[in-house]
Structure 1
Amino acid sequence: MRIAITGGAGFLGTLLARHLLAGPVVLDDTPPADVDELIIADLAEPAPRLADDPRVTALTGELDRTLDHLGDVDAIFHLAGVVSGAAEADFDLGMRTNLDGTRAVLEHARHQAGPPLLVFTSSLAVFGTDPAGPTHRTVDDDTLPRPQSSYGVQKFIGEQLVADYTRRGFVRGRSVRLMTVSVRPGPPNAAASGFLSGILREPLAGERAACPVPPDTPVALSSPRRTIEGIVRAAAVGAEAWGSRTAMNLPSITTSPREMVEALDGDAARLVDWTEDATVTAIVGSWPARFDTARATALGLRPNGSVDDLVQEYLADHTPDHAP
């Protein structure tokens, strides 16, 4: 079995790679099989533990160039892209990476000898509060996306391209909408939602963190483990169980920055500064926070139970013995 992960050197890409290499892997309801070669395509080199695995091939550089060396694969997990804040700050970068990059991956898949399975990671940012449209208290699998950021628009277009390439028989596509992943380890990134990891991660390390949105802003969160579980499950099920070619919302918990900080002990909670940033508030505040994920539930996927679950998972996975 030959599998590719674009963006495979990133945080989620690394977790996914480790999961696939631990095998065996099920694709499209076929018998489980071990991965013979895992191709990690990214601007950065993969983590040393991955790079040292003889089954791993690293293709490092711009996506359009690395695709020339990819060859035919059984499955592509397309995670590569620039995050929400970066796509909003640099329109051309977002379009080139999130839109043109997705189309390049689909075109590569289209010209294979047979249609590969393709899992595309979209985002809850495809939804937003349209000033002239209705306000949805709860988003379900059939809610019309109304993205209110360039990133959300780019992801929604990607979903539609995956659906059409699937309809045409060029790929066997599955698009999953990721919720905000928390807690991410490491330094902050350019995601508008990055603070939703920082207000837990930094205080747990005895460092100060800033929350740029009002304390009671509702947000939808999923832990790294549950996010990877959703991506892998999307690849494993057959076409009949998957159902519609439209994207599937992954499960999440609904909480707020105030509730997140309250999950910390008193000393850690006092390390959070409440300093509103209008740009971040406009982006994150437009995202829905309550989801009815019937399709994901039917596939056996479940959300985390509480913010405390997110914290305990982070602590368990990022002790010295479990460092990335």
Structure 2
Amino acid sequence: MLAITQNRYGDPGVLALREVDVPVPADDEVLVEVRAAGVDRGVWHLMTGLPYPVRLAGYGVRAPKNPVIGMDVAGVVSSVGAGVSRFKPGDEVYGLGIGTFAEYARVLEKKLAPKPANLTFEQAAAVPVSSLTALQAVRDQAKVKRGDRVLILGASGGVGSYAVQVAATFGADVTGVCSKSKGDLVSALGAHQVLDYSSDDFTQYGPFDVILDINGHSSLGRLREALTPKGTLVIVGGETGGRWLGGMDRLLRAMVLTGFVGQRLRPFISSENHVDLQAMTELIETGKVVPAVDRVFPLAEAAAAIQYLIDGHVRGKVVIAVA
């Protein structure tokens, strides 16, 4: 099969389209014939091996253990492992796989769900990683409820575009922060107010009951200044560019500080599971959430798709069409 592979860490130039063996699913895995794969910051982290703790987490210290990259996937079940009971060949599915920038990919059964009936494969591939992060941040960490004033920093990106919609669905008054050129998208997704990150000081528009910091560029001090005394800050990752901590230092400070202040400062890492994917399916099939797909690249142009993402051009999500 054809796949996008890398034999070392680095920029998109390390990626190449190669012929590799079709993977064999384990007993608890499904082999999916990939129709489309989503692109997100996690793919960049695995491609570059940055920050360095990514390599220590089992992905390979000197070089990637799995040369095929990609996580988001939408496609058709080709075969199933002996222990799989929820799927059969021919089922249309989506979820979080292993090496999805390829014609076939392995996916754990527990990370796979039936594809929303009203989405194309390209739209469905834009959902799993980003939407699960948004749903769990809004629903579980921030516990957003009707009437809450919610500020979302990084509202036009993959996670942000879903967070705006989920928070609005829960009845929140949403303020989104993004670049001026993407303000129309954030407004269309359901934000009641849109701020330009380059000219508007979000601290002057608070206080907010909930802040979701997705882009990772604001200090804890500024974020707390815009928060109510009992408000909740959810830090979704961080992109400060450091090779060792890469934004995790801010998460660690928040964890220490939250025990000494009235505000809830919540570092957050999403959980990859089919139960929450099915919850997103319900929101999507009822029209409450719509994937914001910016561009679709062919498999051979995966490197260009990742470069487009890290250059900051993306409005919502970028997708790779495989079939």
Is TM > 0.5 for Structure 1 vs Structure 2?
Answer: no
Q: Under TM normalisation by the shorter chain, which class is it?
A: 0.3 to 0.5
User: RCO greater where, 1 or 2, for CA within 8 Å and sep 6 or more?
Assistant: 2
Q: Which has the higher strand share?
A: 2
